[in-house]
Chains A and B, each alone.
Chain A
Amino acid sequence: MQAPGVDILWIVVGGSFILLAVAMAYILTVSYSHRRIMETQRVKLEEIKASEGKYKSLYDNSLAGMMRFDADSWTVFDSNTAIRGMFGARDHEELQKSISLLQASSRDAIRSRLADEGVIEQYELEASRLDGEKAWLLFSARMMSDEKSVQAVLINITERKRLESHLLRAQKMEGIALLTGGLAHDLQNVLAPIDLSVDLLRKRISGESNRAIIGAIARSARTGLDLVDSILTYGKGVAGKRKNVRVSRIIEQVLSSLRRGLARNIRVNQDLKHQKWRVLGDEGQLKQVLRNLCMNARDAMPRGGVLSVEAQDINVNKAHIVGAASPVTGPYVVIRVSDTGDGIAQDDLERIFEPFFTTKAGSGGTGLGLSVAQGIIKSHKGYLTVSSRKGSGAIFSVYLPAYIGTPAGTRA
């Protein structure tokens, strides 16, 4: 027979182990459950992270600018790289600075449309970039459900705007060319007989005073015919005689003849050492272009200054020639005529190539010099561009396709 102490001992030891095992089982169950929860959570988190990463990448790499901002204060909460690029901002703070520079009228218009309709689509907005340039942006936005923040998408349409304005200007110029061309033809028909008749009359008339009158009529008729000639050159871009010509030689000849007529307080700089290529062109017409540009530069410096003419050979590679309607590539000879005068006002800059537009009305300018020059350059498949800021002179650049066996100027 077993002693009662042994039974109790068995109960205590056995029972303790059972209780211990139960506690351990509970702890293990909790640990296992927790591990499973953690695993599920980890998978979910990874899925969320992957999804977030995907959308973040879409957001960051989008070519359209995106941002979220406060509807009232225009405080930007977040933004993508594209929008910072549109405003020329390097980081979030700089973007906020640019946003605060938006025109108050535009901001008010957007704010009120968003408040009324909750959405605004394709609103054209003019913005100032941090580098001082103007940018045109197409602004679409939607008010978020919290009624406070706004999600906006912006597209840079500066280039489109530039092309639109270029097209408008080209259409306007074409219209003027057509009109003036017709008028010029009629005027030529009127002036040519006068010019011929004057020559015949000169032979028949005697007396000094009569000859003087005939001389005056002849000069006026000749001036009229020259003017008509210029208008026709602008309108049609007279073909001329295309020859293989050296640009540097043309420049040297023009400058040589010009130097004599320049005031002493105007210094001429010439840099032609980087110019070797030839162009296919009419020497006389190219000289006329250069002469017109140099004369304009001279007139822009009544108090004296520096007139610089430089030429160089360049390879235009997937870049815009400023002022060209479409991208061009290939070898070009560029002639730059610059002055240190007062520069050209922004408003005038847009109209400078229009025929009869002149800022020298009082001093006998016809307003045809630049338009004729542009007509000539166009007929040479080249480009004439201008850059200027009021107070810091002007630079006129003539791009002529280089002639290296075959003419350049391939459109991209």
Chain B
Amino acid sequence: MAIPTLGYVHLLSFLFPAFVGIRNYAKMDRPMRLLTLLCIFAVVNIVVQFLLGRWGIRNHIVSDYYRVLEVSLLCGVFWLSVTQQRVRKVMVILAMLFVLAWFVDLVLSNGHQRLNNEMAMTSRMVLLVMSLTTLYAELRNERTSLAERSVFWVSTAVALYTAGTFLVLAFSNYLLVLGRTYFDVAWHINWALLIAANLMYTKGMMCKPQA
């Protein structure tokens, strides 16, 4: 099955933040170092999924495991970026609830036979709340403008990506049943937003570390 051009672009876009993160690692602050780690895992995840897909092996199991890693690491990035203790607590609780839900789902789902839309939606929901909370918390930080802060770009990327792909993930199984064409149309939204998110991560990594 042929992958559309946007699919390849989206694959390539994962390399940008990972490359910039590794190159600037010494100069970056702790949240961005953690994000670099996430970006490296994202590259590994996407390469493995691509190869498994090429070889005709079901690859959605990989994305299921990657999801818990993504939520945990992004929670870490947001937690390190904000200073308000209350916001930090909210993030830790959300992440813990998600991990718990993920375990319960893993036990109850009896193996992954299809795309796990429910956990995908839950993860998007958790990340959306985390990113919006972080953005709101950053509103009170009056030291520098938002555009100069890496956390703004990261939380914006997460907020836009999770909001835009929420429905795509929720309905992906239905769309797959209806036909590959329907799925691909919706999936283009996911790719486009992923490309935008990766570019925003890259921009965030290039911001000067905040004192």
Contacts and interface: CB of A to CB of B under 8 A. Distances in A.
Interface of A: 4-5, 8-9, 11-13, 15-17, 19-20, 22-24, 26-27, 30-31, 33-35, 37-38, 41
Given A37-B142, A41-B142, A27 B160 contact: yes
Given A8-B175, A8-B178, A9-B185, A16 B138 contact: no
Interface size class of B (residues with CB under 8 A): 20 to 34
Contacts, number: 80
A34 B139 contact: yes
B164 A16 contact: yes
B165 interface: yes
B164 A11 contact: no
Identify the 3 closest CB pairs spanning chains A and B, nearest first: A23-B163, A5-B178, A20-B164
21 contacts: A5-B175, A5-B178, A8-B178, A9-B185, A11-B171, A13-B189, A15-B167, A16-B166, A16-B167, A16-B186, A17-B164, A20-B160, A20-B164, A23-B162, A26-B132, A30-B146, A34-B138, A34-B142, A34-B145, A35-B146, A38-B145
A32 to B, nearest CB: 10
A35 B164 contact: no
Interface string B163-199: 1111110110011001100100110010001000000
B185 A13 contact: yes
Contact of B164 (A19, A27, A38): A19
A41 B159 CA distance: 27
B135 interface: yes
Contacts of A26: 132, 135, 159
Given A11-B171, A12-B186, A30 B163 contact: no
Nearest to B159: A23
Decide if the interface of chain B is mainly helix, strand, loop or mixed: helix
A102 to B, nearest CB: 42
Nearest to B174: A8
B136 interface: yes
Contacts of A37: 139, 142
Interface of B: 128, 132, 135-136, 138-139, 142, 145-147, 156, 159-160, 162-168, 170-171, 174-175, 178-179, 182, 185-186, 189, 193
B166 A19 contact: yes
B163 A8 contact: no
A37 B145 CA distance: 10
A41 to B, nearest CB: 5
- Most B CB atoms within 10 A — which of A11, A15, A17, A27? A27
A19 B179 contact: no
Contacts of A30: 135-136, 138-139, 146
Contact of A5 (B182, B189, B193): B182
Given A11-B171, A15-B167, A34-B145, A24 B182 contact: no
A35 B135 contact: no
Given A8-B174, A23-B160, A16 B139 contact: no
A27 B175 contact: no
A337 to B, nearest CB: 70
Contact of B167 (A19, A31, A33, A34): A19
Given A8-B171, A19-B167, A20-B160, A34 B189 contact: no
Contacts of A38: 142, 145
Contacts of A11: 167, 171
B146 A12 contact: no
A16 B189 contact: yes
Given A8-B174, A20-B160, A23-B128, 17 more contacts: A8-B175, A8-B178, A8-B182, A9-B175, A11-B167, A12-B175, A12-B189, A16-B165, A19-B163, A24-B160, A27-B160, A30-B135, A30-B138, A34-B138, A34-B139, A38-B142, A41-B142
